[in-house]
Every structure is written in structure tokens, then in C-alpha cells.
Structure 1
């Protein structure tokens, strides 16, 4: 899947559900999620024809949104695969599905309008203002 297709998927869900909140989109799509004491930041699982996202309870609010957006990307684009988000590593992985999930998260959490709102700032600065690691911007396409 290319970046343009991912951007279109994100745009579709944002317009359909009138939100960019990954938790709300998951609710609308019937994707179950649970927050608890797990051994990684988050994971997506497809079990018995149901989609589940698990998040680590120790994540900060921005980290939880980022991990949820990433895992939501897996749930939407890689429905039948089980995927694990390893904190501080997934943004560096080169596998196709991890890049796609990171691109989904970047498009969901960093809308073009936010970037246009700060024309004098770098993409890294905008990411930090929004509460995310500047690494997210490596996956953002304008």
C-alpha cells in the first residue's frame, strides 16, 4: 500500500466518524481494546474473527494515542495479522507493515492542517508541540 492510499484511508475514517481520535475510531469500527500491564507498548491481534488492541498502562497520554493509532493502522490495513509495537523500536523498523502502520498513525495524528497552521516551524517542532516524537514526521506525507 502506498502513502497516498494510506492517506485516503485515514481521510475516509476521519470524515466518516468526524474524529481523529484513534480510540473513538476503534470504538466505531468495533475494534476492542484493553489497557493493562503487558510486556510491550502495544499489540494488535486478530483472534476468532475479532480485532483486539492491547496497550501498556504505563504509557503517557501522547504515547498511548501514538501506539493506539499505530495499532489501529494494523487493525484497518493488516486485519488478519498479529502485530506487536515495541516501544522505541517500531518507528525504526523497515518492515512493510510497520512502515504502513507508522504512516497511518502519522496521517491520523498529524493532519496537514496542523502543519499549515505553523508555516514558520519545522516538522520536528510541530510534532513536539502536538506531544509526539519528531520521528513520527518521517512518515508524514504532505
Structure 2
């Protein structure tokens, strides 16, 4: 899926459900979310017995948890039958097609175009900071 298609997909869900909150979207989309100890993993998406499940590490701070949730939600939508793992400090650097798609989905969901338009003098890193996320997320913003 091309970046502009991912952007269009995010716009569809944001418009349909009137939210950019990945936890609220997961509820609407019947994705089960569990938070608990995951060791070095920040999160993962699994398709178990015909159910979409996202597991998030309980040690994540609020913004990191939201980013991981948005990333894993992307997998539940775009890669429904794949099992995908978000490894802290690594997944934003991966180059596989499905990880790039999930990162692009997360960036489009969490960094609205309006935030960029309303802050024309800020760098990409400053926009990410303003939104509460790691600057690397902006590498996936289209």
C-alpha cells in the first residue's frame, strides 16, 4: 500500500468515527486490547482464533503507549492475519513493507496535517515534540 493510500485510509477512519484516538478506534473495530508485562517488546498484534488482539507493554509511558497502539492498530486493519511485534527502539527503524505501512498509519493518525499547517515555523522534530512523540515518527508523515 502506498503512503497516500495509507493517508486516505486514516482519513476514512478519522471521519467515520470522529476520533484520532487509537484506543477508541480499536473499540469501534472490535480489536481486543490487553496491557501487561511484555519484556523487551513494546507491543504486538496477533490474529488469534479469528479475533484481532493487541498486546501493549505496561511499562510504556502514555505517549509511547499511544504510538505503539496506533502502530499495532494499523496491523489489525492492513495486515489482519499477520502476527506483528513492536520492539522498543527498533520498529521505527525497520524497513519491511508492513512495518513502514504501520508506521505511516501511526504518523498520519497521531500527527494531523492541521498541526503542521498551524505551526509553519516549526521543524519536523518540533512538531513531533509538540504532539508528544519521538521525532522519528515524522519520517513516516506524508
Same fold (TM over 0.5): yes
- Determine the C-alpha separation between the residues in 1 that align with 2:24 and 2:115: 20
* Distance (Å, rounded) in 1 between the aligned partners of 2:77 and 2:114: 23
Query: 1:41 aligns to what SS in structure 2?
Result: strand
RMSD: 0.5
Per-residue CA shift, 1:96-122, capped at 9, x if unaligned?
000000000000000100110101101
Question: Counterpart of 1:14?
Answer: 14
For each residue in 1:19-67, what CA deviation from the matched residue of structure 2 results, as whole angstroms up to 9, or x when unmatched? Answer: 0000000000000000001121000000111100000001000000000
Q: Counterparts of 1:54-69 in structure 2 under 5 Å?
A: 54-69=55-70
Query: In structure 1, the residue corresponding to 2:66 is in which secondary structure?
Result: helix
1:70 corresponds to = 71
User: What is the CA distance between 1:129 and its match in structure 2?
Assistant: 1.1
Pairs within 5 Å for 1:20-99: 20-39=20-39, 40-99=41-100
- 2-side partners of 1:57 and 1:47: how far apart? 21
Aligned residues: 141
Q: Secondary structure at the match of 2:89?
A: coil
SS in 2 for 1:126: helix
Deviating above 6 A after TM superposition, structure 1's stretches of 4 or more consecutive aligned residues are none
CA distance in 2 between partners of 1:18 and 1:79 (Å)? 23
Secondary structure in structure 1 of the residue aligned to 2:80:
coil
Q: TM-score, normalised by structure 1?
A: 0.98
* TM norm structure 2: 0.98
User: 1:58 is paired with a residue of what secondary structure?
Assistant: coil
Which residue does the alignment assign to 1:135? Answer: 136
